[in-house]
Amino acid sequence: MPFHSKTTTRGYLWQEQLQVDNGLLNNGCFLDALGVVPHVFLLFSTFPILFIGWGSQSSKVHIHHSTWLHFPGHNFRWLLTIVLLFVLVCEIAEGIVSDGFNQSRHLHLYMPAGLGILAAITSIVYYHNIETSNFPKLLIALLIYWTLAFITKTIKFVKYDDHGIGLRELRFCITGLLALLYGLLLGVEVNVILRRRYMWFPCPTEVKPPDDLQDLGVRFLQPFVNLLSKSTYWWMNTFITSAHKRPIDLKTIGKLPISMRALTNFQRLRKAFDAQAEKGPVPLKGSRWIWLALRQAFGRPLVLSITFRFIADLLGFVGPLCISGIVHHISSDNHSVKLLGVHFISSEAFLANAYVLAVLLFLALLLQRTFLQASYYVAIETGIKLRAAIQTKIYHKIMRLCTSNMSMGDMTTAQICSLVARDTNHLMWFFFLCPNLWAMPVQIVMGVLLLYSLLGVSALIGATVIVVLAPLQYFVATRLSRAQKSTLEHTGERLKKTNELLRGIKLLKLYAWEHIFRSSVEETRRQELRNLRTFALYTSLSIFMNAAVPIAAVLTIFAVHVHMHSATDFDLSPAVAFGSLSLFHILVTPLFLLSSVLHSTVKALIVNGYFTWTQGCPTLTNIDIKVPFGQLTMIVGQEGCGKSSLLLAALGEMHKISGNITWNSLPKSDSEENVRYLHSILTACVFRKRGSVAYASQRPWLLNATVEENILFDMVPNEKRYKEVIEVCQLQPDIDTLPQGDQTVIGERGIILSGGQRQRISVARALYQQTNVVFLDDPFSALDIHLSDHLMHEGILKLLRQEKRTVVLVTHKLQYLPHADWIIAMRDGTVQTQGTLKDIQCAEPELFEQWRTLMNRQDKNTTELKRKSFRRPMYSTDTLATEDEDEESSTSTDEDSLRAELRHRTTIPWSSFATYLRAAGLLLLPLLVLSQLSKHSLMVAIDFWLAHWTSRVIACCCAVLLSQDCEFSHSSYLQVFCGLCALGIVLCLVTSLAVEWTGLRVSRELHCSLLRTIVLAPMRLFETTPLGNILNRFSADTNTIDQHIPVTLECLSRSTLLCVSAVGVISYVTPLFLIALLPLAVACYFIQKYFRVASRDLQQLEDSTEMPLLSHYSQTIEGLTTIRAFRHEQRFKKKLLEHTDANNISSLFLMAANRWLEVRMEYIGAFVVLIAAVASISNALCSQLSAGLVGLGLTYALMVSNYLNWIVRNLADMEVQLGCVKRVSGLIHTQPENYDGLMTPAQVPAGWPKYGEIQIKNLSVRYDSSLKPVLRHINSHIRPGQKVGICGRTGSGKSSFSLALFRMLDTIEGNRIIDGIDIAKLPLQTLRSKFSIILQDPILFSGTIRFNLDPERKATDQMLWEALEIAQLMPVVKALPGGLDAMVTEGGENFSQGQRQLFCLARAFVRKSSILIMDEATASIDMATESILQKVVMTAFADRTVVTIAVSPCTSLNYTIQSYTAGVFSSGPRGPLSCRVLLQTASDFLVTLKTLISWFRCV
């Protein structure tokens, strides 16, 4: 007897026995009705509490998460409830299916299960509210419900068993499972009551919510919400929607939970390292012990992630199996069989139903996506925790590094920042990809086995094709990585040259060298583009293989399958074809991801965090000194003799070879020896028994903070002392010019201070501190004579001496030696002598006489170093005032533009996208669009042909069964299929190449336009725009355009076209799907709308929080000596933790937002599959829709669920990346300088200007058409060969006068005639190439000395050596390896300041121009170099016109003595910014000198 016949007989027996006469418990309807009682009880008992109590309060009072509490077994309860809901759904489905075989309807078969679902949902909602409100007494209702439900289901299960219903009947299994689940839930409830002693216990256990929830600042609630909210990220709803109303900032996202903070994870990692160290000695090399420690610290959550991934991958195979079963059910016509009177069905019969398979497919997709996202979340969260722990460990290691090794280059700042930014991210992403590494082999094996069960040996051949091509994909990925590495090298070189170009742009424009450096950058860019072309080629191959290999594998399988069977075999059914096609879509992904995962694994394995340092030759020897308490000790000596090293040694910043350092305590009485001793033979000592030392380093070190914060340095604010220190350091005038006064942030925000201002702020910090010891390392090096005198007398001699603080001062200002209580003279790394000035006069008379000569010389020199203002050399006071007014007006309109900004945040920057596409050109853009459309259209055609082919197989099979003639051959169908697949493979290659080459063309065009615009832009752009902003256009934004936008564009277009194709195919197969598509489309629209805004804000927040983190590392490395001198290590470690947590909370919220999107999009995709499946099945049963089209529709429906979230993700990424295009495009539209003139270069007389005569007639200029004039009605006449000095106070217009000669300012009126030609008529390039200028700040470029002297390569070696000899640099250059070809480091750092200025003088001489302008060229160099410079000007430039600009009249008058001409710029009665000629004859000089100096002291 067939099985269904046995089932039918048993059903009749059961129906005969279930009569009321045999007892109520033997009546099936009564048992089903009895099962309703617990559900009704729960619904009626909890309704008043849920909807009247909590429901009415929820609208008025929001229960804060600080009251949340999880009872014991919380997650287990949620899992049991979810399983219970699934079983109840199966019970309903079983009841409906079995009831369909009856002639009448029996509601009792599925109505109790429906009430059970409602009761289960009510129970979990009720339980959730009990937890969140912490009111456990209400658990009594759930206890009663679980008891009653368990009893009723147990009775029903026992009665089934009594009547012979066994495991072969599905209803029996469902009833047993329900009884088990209710029993387990009852056990969970009893466990809660007993462990917490709730309800009837007199003294319940008092349990408080976690500490994190008590902190109202914690808003990342993923670890604390219930299981359903964790799985669906429901708690993120409010956060995502609120971002649409107000931008997300650090205040919005709050603080990290304690378990996720950097300190917690650092302590966990440190314990793991300590545990590894206890097992044995730590190896000096190798990373095995590091991985063991990482596994011990973070391995447990990784195992959980791998488990989730295993479950998700196994559930992923349910889709192809269900599709195969549905298509088989439709094609086998088993829906026409009617078996009446069957009350019980078997599991096999239940799973053979197409509608049941559709529901199971839907539920499997929901679970699979949920577990997959859970795996992603756990892996990324663990990676972020690991990154924070390693970053903190690196920082602690930095705090113990020796600064001498940093200066020796053993470990550079760039290397450490790269370790923090790049290598830690490699480890984080390895943890993210680690579950793939374990799950992929299982996924591949399962896929191949299932394919074998469907297709036999041909499946193994197709899988072999994929396996054989997988190493090729790995090869491509390896080459891709090499190309990227090579590209990064050329990118670094290009950015280095671009940085030099931007920093020296003023000099380049003045010398007309823009085109030379632009060509150099373009040449490097061409090399970079060659590597980018290789990178694009391998990227295209990777994209091509990902798209083409599945097509080739499917073609191979079906061709082999047809060949192995007879030409008329009907084995290739739609169920087999589309089931195997879906399996291939699953199988191809891990095979090709495996290469990327292995590559990432290799990158992570090479990461290590070792620092090494070595001991060099001794810097200090035979040091035996003493420093008196409460007195001033000065350390003097020539450059490089070890003065600064002595301070560093005392601070413990150098390695100690022998000797010791003793820091005595303060004397308790005057009778005690009032001396502090330092004894040592030093090269660095780490001595930790000293107290805090106020230290001002020779190179000023400032924080990226406000001026006030830099001075206070975490000390308690004291307004009186703060003002006193500001006055002593003469900072008030500088503070008054800042936009926000002393609250202005200095550092990396565009407010760049001069060297003198930085030095005075650094000294002010040391003076403000209340430490007993103050170390000042050459604090006068960047200050003029007046500031130096004021600081010395008011700050050191008055303020510090009154407080009786021990001061150690390193200085070159020998005129201050008489004020010293103790003097230490250094020479060649040892102490030459020490004592008071009188002691040294007696002991070392020759040294004393040398000092006295220098002191007298310095006293006579009244040269005042210019007090540099902020990096606005082209700004007048009026200009600054105008800008301030603009800032105020723009600030006043901020609130008015808030709505417009919010509205702008919700729109996609289509204009930037159009700019990107226009840059692609008229050839590549149509090719890109047509190839994409053609490829996806052909993909749909291939699948349609497969559906037609397999449907024809079924039709012929039915005809044969009906004994009808049917001529069928696979060969014709296979030929068309092969042709379509071959054409599809070709189009895949064309499409991938088109995308990458389009991106390459856009990269080349945008960078070329950007570089050309920047080089030709007016100087005002560089003075008003922070250099870092412009450099970012060439670095981060260009990198995004080069490498990221093409990939995102390809992925976005592919995902979009696949989803559009899928919707089109499904709509064609089942037009009713369009009705259900509308609400799903509306849901997708709002989800992506809210997500894009939140995602963009979070990405920007993540980037903005990463920069302070990296900046904190670099600041710490640069100021390590100062930090350790002040003993502020703990404060900076705390600040590091704050920066790390801020970056991590941004990353976590961004990751949670991505999971929020993917869960919702994939759930919508699951609904698409369910609707498509139900509609297809109904259409097939009603209108004889072919089974091939049903399989086609379901296969495409699965594609929607896979690619829907990628559309939104890539759309959000593209929106952020198009911001780079917008910023670059905005800079490209900058108005360039007018380089054209009325005369052509050929019309300019040869050798012009020959004499150097300059006539200025009624000249008025301004920096911009929107600003006020900076020079008004200037008239001057400079005769050929004259040496003219121009002086005036800061802001009087001296530099503006020199810039006007180069046409770098906007001319309002007047003429500038040089050798008879009005320079306004000359081409700008020609004009500037005829003059020479020496600026205040010497600028050298990386390259050879030859290149720095003559970038145009016009001079011979003899001319270059002559220029070096005149500048007295020939001995220095000849001593270098390579001579003229010796390398100059970036910025000329391998030469001193004076040598750099002399190189600039040699550069000006090489040019042989008849006019030389010296714009405060002696303001920042020492007296010896200035003397050389003046001598060269008076001899080598004797026959040339020299215009010298200086803030001091003494510098100008050095040239005036010979030229008899000097001009003073001032704001006098003759008008603002006017010029007065003071001297005409030599006899005026002595009379005027005294008056002029007095006037300058007044101003």
DSSP state string for 104-147: S--GGGTHHHHHHHHHHHHHHHHHHHHHHHT-GGGHHHHHHHHH
Instruction: Evaluate if residue 1308 carries a pLDDT over 80.
Output: yes
User: Which of 471-485, 1040-1054, 1472-1486 has the largest mean confidence?
Assistant: 1040-1054
Give the separation between CA 1137 and CA 1143, rounded to whole angstroms: 10
The total number of residues shown for the chain amounts to: 1499
Give the separation between CA 781 and CA 797, rounded to whole angstroms: 18
Using pLDDT thresholds of 50, 70 and 90, give the confidence band for residue 1008. Answer: very high
Q: What is the predicted pLDDT for the residue at 759? A: 85
pLDDT tens per residue, range 885-919: 343 333 334 444 444 444 455 566 778 888 888 88
Give the separation between CA 1080 and CA 1075, rounded to whole angstroms: 10
Amino acid identity of residue 1227, one-letter, is L
Q: Is 601 exposed, middle or buried (0-12, 13-18, 19+ CB in 10 A)?
A: middle
How much is the average pLDDT of 359-369? 91
Give the separation between CA 508 and CA 1233, rounded to whole angstroms: 14
pLDDT tens per residue, range 739-753: 788 888 776 433 457
Structure tokens at 70: 């999880």
pLDDT tens per residue, range 709-740: 889 988 888 888 999 999 989 888 888 877 78
Using pLDDT thresholds of 50, 70 and 90, give the confidence band for residue 370. Answer: very high
Give the separation between CA 383 and CA 431, rounded to whole angstroms: 5
Give the separation between CA 281 and CA 344, rounded to whole angstroms: 69
**Strand, helix or coil for residue 1377:** coil
**Strand, helix or coil for residue 253:** helix
Q: What is the predicted pLDDT for the residue at 36? A: 87
Q: What is the predicted pLDDT for the residue at 83? A: 92
Beta strands in 1323-1440 (DSSP E): 1332-1334, 1343-1344, 1383-1384, 1411-1415
Q: What is the predicted pLDDT for the residue at 100? A: 63
Instruction: Evaluate if residue 1152 carries a pLDDT over 90.
Output: yes
The count of other CB atoms within 10 Å of the CB of residue 271 is 13
How much is the average pLDDT of 359-375? 91
What are the φ/ψ torsions at residue 830 (nearest 5 degrees)? Answer: -140, 170
The residue with greater pLDDT, 372 or 101, is: 372
DSSP state string for 1301-1328: HTT-SEEEEEEEEETTEEGGGS-HHHHH
Residue pair 1362/1436 in contact (Cβ under 8 Å)? The answer is: no
From 643, 633, 639, select the one nearest 774 (Cα to Cα). 633
Could you tell me the pTM of the whole model? 0.77
Q: What is the predicted pLDDT for the residue at 858? A: 54
Using pLDDT thresholds of 50, 70 and 90, give the confidence band for residue 997. Answer: confident
From 634, 636, 632, 633, select the one nearest 812 (Cα to Cα). 636
Strands in 1441-1446's sheet, in edge-to-edge order, are: 1332-1334, 1411-1415, 1441-1446, 1283-1288, 1462-1468, 1471-1479
Q: What is the predicted pLDDT for the residue at 105? A: 62
From 584, 607, 685, 677, select the one nearest 319 (Cα to Cα). 584
Q: What is the predicted pLDDT for the residue at 876? A: 34
Least confident of 570-579, 1313-1322, 1353-1362: 570-579
Return left, alpha or beta for 667; rule: phi > 0 is left, psi -120 to 50 is alpha, else beta.
beta
From 216, 499, 163, select the one nearest 343 (Cα to Cα). 163
Residue pair 272/297 in contact (Cβ under 8 Å)? The answer is: yes
Give the separation between CA 389 and CA 1444, rounded to whole angstroms: 58
pLDDT tens per residue, range 1052-1085: 888 888 888 888 888 888 888 888 888 988 998 8
Identify the bridge partners of residue 1466 per DSSP, sorted by sequence position.
1474
From 1428, 1420, 1425, 1465, select the one nearest 1443 (Cα to Cα). 1465
Omega before 1371 cis (within 30°)?
A: no
Q: What is the predicted pLDDT for the residue at 683? A: 32
Using pLDDT thresholds of 50, 70 and 90, give the confidence band for residue 871. Answer: very low
Using pLDDT thresholds of 50, 70 and 90, give the confidence band for residue 1149. Answer: very high
